Amino acid sequence: MLLIATSIGVMAVILLTAVGEGARDYITGEFRDMGTNLLIVIPGKNETSGGGSPIDLAGVAPRDLTVEDAISLRQIEAIKNIAPIVIGETPAQFNGLERTVPIIGTTPSFLAVRKWEMATGNFLPGVTLDRSPPVCVIGKEVESELFGKNKAIGQWLRVGDRRCRVTGIIGTEGRAVGIDAQKVVVMPVSLATALFNRPSLFRIAIEARNTWEMEQIKKDIIKIIKKRHQGKEDITVIRQDSVMKSFDNIFNVLTMALGSIASISLFVAGILIMNVMLVAVSQRQAEIGLLKAIGAKNNQINHLFITEAIILSGSGALLGLVLGHTVTQILKVAFPTFNFLPPLWASFVSLLVALISGVVFGLLPARRAAKLDPVIALSGNK
């Protein structure tokens, strides 16, 4: 029972840290897939004034972030791609069939910035920041629901009160700006702003040429937009790599917290060790008396019982490590997209905590054994 208790404790540490690490790996992987050379420009500025009225703490009322603002950023040479983004939702119709679809209004750069792929066709051909022919690309779910077995490419799709010609089908799965790529209709940004009668962009996504230039690009963006917005810094520029690093740190702390909580169970196992050892001392009194009679010193008796406690907790910990790693391997096979990988420190720390538990909770029984009166112990009286 003691071995099982300790092994469950260690196994819990391994499994929980594997889950935490897997979550961290998944999230950071998603960020890495999107590219770490990404900056996002968001309308509105969040700032604190270090005291003062609540109004001062609220976001500064933003001016519209416009396509023209996006165009103005072309002067920054370190920028590789600029993709202004508008989002909304509206009914899409084809041949009597209708479904409400999420809309992304953008430019062809969006494909590179978001690292999307096309299943067939072209992504917004002929569209630039300045030109917006009525074209669109659709997700596979939109294709199957509105076009069925008919070929979608080349067809005219009614989107809200606008029409656009389907030029491609999106191949990528997953989400961008919170929208499922399989369910979306992507159209030129100017068409979308007109469709929703909304001059302001949702975001501007920017891909830098090089990571080391990102901080300078961020400063340049703020400078240019501030100048265009009458000297008001009413945008927020987020570096994707900073966000990823923040998530990384958060998940690291979360994983450690999970491991620590699981480690509490090892102290419970330690209390079990203490109880078992106290019973052992009681049952082995005659043996302890004999050892003293044949010359064992008090500290030798002490060490004997501490060693037994360490062996018990160590064996349980090793069993727990084997079980924990075996279960994570099984989980990896069952859920291949999620990388269940317990961090190395989890194995060392759980083993160490188990051993320390054994020593700490073995101390009382060991001391009791060492202090036993040999005459009483040998007589069998308690």
Partner 1 sequence: MINLENLCRHFAVGNQVVRALDEVDLVINEKEYVSIMGVSGSGKSTLLNILGLLDTPTSGDYLLSGTNTSKMNDDEMAHIRSTKIGFIFQSFHLIPRLTAAENVEMPMVLSGLNPKERREKVENALARVSLTDRSDHRPEQLSGGQRQRVAIARSVVMEPDVLLADEPTGNLDSSSSKEIIKLIEELNQGGLTLVVVTHDKEMGRRSDRLIELLDGKIINDNQN
- Which positions lie near partner 1, rule CB under 8 A? 286-287, 289-300, 374-375, 378
Distance CA 318, CA 15 (A): 14
Distance CA 355, CA 310 (A): 6
| Residue 315 Cβ vs partner 1, minimum distance, rounded to whole Å | 18
| Residue 284 Cβ vs partner 1, minimum distance, rounded to whole Å | 9
| Residue 258 Cβ vs partner 1, minimum distance, rounded to whole Å | 41
Please enumerate in sequence order all residues whose Cβ is within 8 A of that of 190, keeping only pairs 6 or more positions apart, or say none: 67, 105, 132
Instruction: Give the gyration radius of the chain's Cα atoms.
Output: 33
Nearer CB in complex with partner 1: 231/295: 295
Q: Judging by beta carbons within 10 Å of its beta carbon (0-12, 13-18, 19+), is residue 72 exposed, middle or buried?
A: middle
Nearer CB in complex with partner 1: 330/375: 375
Nearer CB in complex with partner 1: 269/370: 370
Nearer CB in complex with partner 1: 150/299: 299
Is 350:322 a contact under the CB 8 Å cutoff? no
| Residue 368 Cβ vs partner 1, minimum distance, rounded to whole Å | 15
| Residue 291 Cβ vs partner 1, minimum distance, rounded to whole Å | 7
Q: Judging by beta carbons within 10 Å of its beta carbon (0-12, 13-18, 19+), is residue 325 exposed, middle or buried?
A: middle
CA distances from 24 to 28, 31, 248 (A): 6, 11, 6
| Residue 311 Cβ vs partner 1, minimum distance, rounded to whole Å | 15
Structure tokens at 323: 């079980």
| Residue 350 Cβ vs partner 1, minimum distance, rounded to whole Å | 31
| Residue 377 Cβ vs partner 1, minimum distance, rounded to whole Å | 9
Pairing between strand 118-121 and 162-170? Answer: antiparallel
Structure tokens at 202: 């949702």
CA distances from 35 to 83, 89, 104, 148, 210 (A): 14, 27, 20, 34, 11
Nearer CB in complex with partner 1: 237/296: 296
Region for residue 200 given its phi and psi (left: phi exceeds 0; alpha: psi -120 to 50; beta: otherwise): beta
Pairing between strand 179-180 and 175-176? Answer: antiparallel
Distance of CA 44 to the CA centre of its chain: 26
Nearer CB in complex with partner 1: 20/289: 289
Nearer CB in complex with partner 1: 215/373: 373
CA angle, residues 364, 378, 302, in degrees to nearest 5: 25
Nearer CB in complex with partner 1: 223/297: 297
Nearer CB in complex with partner 1: 105/289: 289
| Residue 3 Cβ vs partner 1, minimum distance, rounded to whole Å | 18
How many residues can be counted in the chain?
382
Nearer CB in complex with partner 1: 128/299: 299
| Residue 289 Cβ vs partner 1, minimum distance, rounded to whole Å | 8
Distance CA 200, CA 85 (A): 9
